[in-house]
Amino acid sequence: MQPDAPPLPEIDFATARAMLEWQIELGADEAMLDAPLNRYELPVPVPAKAVAAPAAAEEAPLPASAPVHAVDPVAVAETLAAGAQDLAELAAAMAAFEHCELKRGARNFVFADGNPHARVLILGEAPGREEDLEGRPFVGPAGQLLDRMLAAIGLSRTAPDPAAAVYITNVLPWRPPGNREPEPAEIAMFRPFIARHIELVDPEIVVLMGNPACMAALGQRGILRLRGHWAEAFGCPALPMAHPAHLLRNPAAKREAWADLLALRARLDG
């Protein structure tokens, strides 16, 4: 605490615990700093010129009545994504994208993991706590289950051989607070980046893990209905599957997940 901060009122254990639980319910499940910081008193950041708007829109003078932030994040994302010539450029463009508020609360940008030459690309949801800390997708409990599921059909994110490898990325590269589901506007603004990501990796098959991935790729949710049915997404055959986090909460759903893994293996072998 700062030396000149007023003394904290004394509170009993039960009240302190109730206040902490309330914070956690709101999604504030981690201490970021030792002392409170009033973010309303910070200067408003000026958006970086390179990502403020597509060049043509930037040059057009705005009418006097136009709101200052009349930038369409989806249009900006489309321009940035189209300009990325390889995965490194795409990662740099996404990391510089300033129109998603999640960036301000996240510790790390989480782009992808695995072999970019893999036959299979897995599209997850968003980083959780462990992924946010490490800057890599699927490294927490759901990721460990995912690794075991993939190993059961001879696939791995560390395999150098593209035939046995997977490439893993998420709908969002920033952790949503409290691990809430991505909002439709967030999915919409990252969709151009996902499309370009898949175009650059050019996999044979895309696996859509959970509802947000199905929303981004197919414009539909209802994973328990969609799972196991081959679809087409971003020009590739796509297999919706239950998310491993769902399987951790509902072990009975592992039987269907196993059937979906076998369908994936059969398609790769066929």
Q: Which among 50-58, 130-138, 216-224, 248-256 is the span making contact with ligand URA, rule CB under 6 A?
A: 130-138
Residue 133, classified by CB atoms within 10 Å of its CB into exposed (0-12), middle (13-18) or buried (19+), is middle
Binding flags for ligand URA, 71-110, as an x/- string (CB under 6 A)? ----------------------------------------
# of chain residues touching ligand URA (CB under 6 A):
14
176 binds ligand URA (CB under 6 A): no
23's CB contacts (< 8 A; 6+ apart) are 29
User: Hey, is 132 helix, strand or coil?
Assistant: helix
127 binds ligand URA (CB under 6 A): yes
- Give CA–CA dist 238/206, Å, rounded: 5
137 binds ligand URA (CB under 6 A): yes
Neighbours of 129 (CB within 10 A): 14
Residue with the closest Cβ to ligand URA?
124
For the record, the structure tokens of 258 come out as: 């196993």
Locus of tokens 């009975």? 252
Among positions 139-168, residues that touch ligand URA (CB under 6 A) are 140, 142-143
93 vs 145, beta carbon nearer ligand URA: 145
For the record, the structure tokens of 153 come out as: 């059909």
User: Which of 109, 138, 167, 174: binder of ligand URA (CB under 6 A)?
Assistant: 138
Over the range 225-256, which residues count as b (16 or more CB within 10 Å of their CB) and which as e? ebbbeebebbebebbbbbbbbbbeeeeebbee
Minimum separation from the CB atom of position 261 to ligand URA (A)? 17
User: Which of 124, 173, 182, 240: binder of ligand URA (CB under 6 A)?
Assistant: 124
Q: Which among 25-33, 34-42, 51-59, 121-129 is the span making contact with ligand URA, rule CB under 6 A?
A: 121-129
Among positions 209-238, residues that touch ligand URA (CB under 6 A) are 209
Minimum separation from the CB atom of position 26 to ligand URA (A)? 21
173 vs 203, beta carbon nearer ligand URA: 173
Give the per-residue SS3 of 10-45: CCCHHHHHHHHHHHHHHCCCCCCCCCCCCHHHCCCC
125 vs 186, beta carbon nearer ligand URA: 125
Q: Which among 22-30, 51-59, 131-139, 157-165 is the span making contact with ligand URA, rule CB under 6 A?
A: 131-139
Q: Alpha helix (H) ranges present in 35-128?
A: 49-52, 55-59, 73-83, 87-95, 102-105
Q: Which among 58-66, 98-106, 136-144, 184-192 is the span making contact with ligand URA, rule CB under 6 A?
A: 136-144
Q: Which helix (H) or strand (E) holds 265?
A: helix 254-269
Query: Within 13 Å and on the Cβ side, how many CA atoms surround 151?
Result: 7
- Chain residues binding ligand URA by CB under 6 A are 124-128, 131, 137-138, 140, 142-143, 170, 209, 245
